[in-house]
Amino acid sequence: MEALVLYSLKASGVTTVFYLLWRVLLRKETLHRLNRVILVLTPVLSMILPLCVITIRKTVPGPGPEANAAAGALKEVSIHDTNLWTIFGVIYLAGVALALLKIGWSTIRLSMLLKEGEKHILEDGSTLVITEKSLPPFSWMGHIVMSRKDYESGNQEIILHEQAHIHLLHSMDIMRTDLLAAFQWYNPFIWALGADLRGIHEYEADEYVIKEGANPTEYQLFLINRAALANGLSPVSGLQSGTIKGRIEMMLKNRTDWKAGLKALYIIPVIVLTLIACSKTVTEYEDPAPVAEEAELIPFQLVDEADPLPYQLVERKPTFNGGDANEFSKWVNTRLNYPQEAKDLNIQGKVVLQFTVAKTGNVKDVRVLRGIDPLLDKEAVRVVSASPKWAPGFRNEKRVDVTYTFPVIFQLR
């Protein structure tokens, strides 16, 4: 749950940065196609970029054998009575489910409306659906929906406007953006982006109608007369979408020079900065210098090779599930059960264990170095003893036993 919530927050942050920069740099330009592409790509990039994690590996000298890390101490594992990440995750997923249900319900309503209407195939291949309901005209996935009153009025601008939406695939833009917005439902900027995208669709459709020969002044008056109605069906493109004032201002505005489109290059540094922000650094420790290591390990080298004692410093450390020792910490954390009796008695603290990863990969000799209470000590030993096999450690190209100390924190919230 923690990873899911953090990923969503990162995606939301990327969306916000992209969108706000677009509003500052390009929103008022008449480069409708460019603006549309940027707004369509913004939610897509916001979902992809946080997954592109660049790993930077840094090798540093390891600590001396006297340090606790050299003794194989693992990252502390903590178990809490209340997991806040789980609560956040449940709230987040509930919001996603509700947003998707809303989209699904709107789609069902549209499908029912299309099924009930009287259908006519137009010259461009689109389907005109005439309904007896009092609805403003709109288009969706190759269909133009009009009330019978609008159809009988013979106003060709209505059909031209909706055909423009269909030819330019505006419905696909809206469906894709709304679906991605469902996964960032708590971010107001993703919904503002969707509203601006619908506005750009209207700019493109208006431009299409005028290019087809409509009188600009008459068309603008027509839009004003139609502005009172609203259809409330979110996945559609409609004649009344966007603000009429903004659409008329955009029609009257001088065309933006193509050089203004160079401002869209802001996308490149944002992508680079996002990749840097999402990168992670993995620190790998080198073993201490051979002379110092041999001096500390002399007692281990003097034992019988047939039954050597476990090592604490090795050339190649054991690995768990393909990862470092902290992977084992995560594994233990997901399997610890806080004893109810210990909760009732408000018993909490740190249990320090010691165990050995044998040359066969099995975990053995699990014992308590410093305990809290038999209830918690027993639970910590139980989980560590149930460990799956590790990849064993190596010293002098031979498999060897390696010891670890392992603190487990039991904490009540």
Average pLDDT per 10 consecutive residues for the chain, totaling 413 residues: 88 94 90 92 93 76 43 49 77 94 91 88 89 85 87 79 90 92 94 92 87 79 64 51 70 79 90 87 54 30 37 74 81 88 88 91 92 91 92 86 87 76
The CA–CA distances, whole Å, from 282 to 51, 312, 324 equal 17, 22, 11
Query: Which residue is it, tokens 């790998």?
Result: 284
Residue 159: its pLDDT value, please? 85
Residue 61: its pLDDT value, please? 57
DSSP run (H or E) holding 272? helix 267-278
CA distance 7 to 1: 10
163, 211 in Cβ contact below 8 A? no
Largest CA distance in the chain: 102
Residue 289: its pLDDT value, please? 41
Q: How far apart are the first and last CA of the chain?
A: 19
The CA–CA distances, whole Å, from 226 to 196, 219, 223 equal 20, 11, 5
Per-residue pLDDT reduced to its tens digit, 265-302: 989 999 999 888 888 776 655 544 443 333 232 222 22
The CA–CA distances, whole Å, from 299 to 146, 290, 302 equal 90, 15, 5
Q: Is 350 exposed, middle or buried (0-12, 13-18, 19+ CB in 10 A)?
A: middle
The CA–CA distances, whole Å, from 49 to 9, 43, 247, 321 equal 12, 10, 33, 27
Per-residue pLDDT reduced to its tens digit, 80-130: 544 787 888 899 999 999 999 999 999 998 888 888 888 889 888 889 999
Per-residue pLDDT reduced to its tens digit, 251-266: 777 777 778 888 889 8
Return the closest-CA partner of residue 122 out of 158, 153, 173, 149.
158
* Alpha-carbon torsion, ordered 44, 47, 49, 50, to 10 deg: 170
Structural domains in the chain? 2-276 (no CATH), 287-411 (3.30.2420.10)
CA distance 166 to 164: 5
Cα 37 to chain centroid distance, Å, stands at 21
Q: Is 338 helix (H, G, I), strand (E, B) or coil?
A: coil
CA distance 287 to 294: 11
Return the closest-CA partner of residue 35 out of 193, 169, 205, 178.
193
Residue 11: its pLDDT value, please? 93
390, 363 in Cβ contact below 8 A? yes
Strand segments (E) across 65-142: 77-80, 118-121, 127-131, 138-140
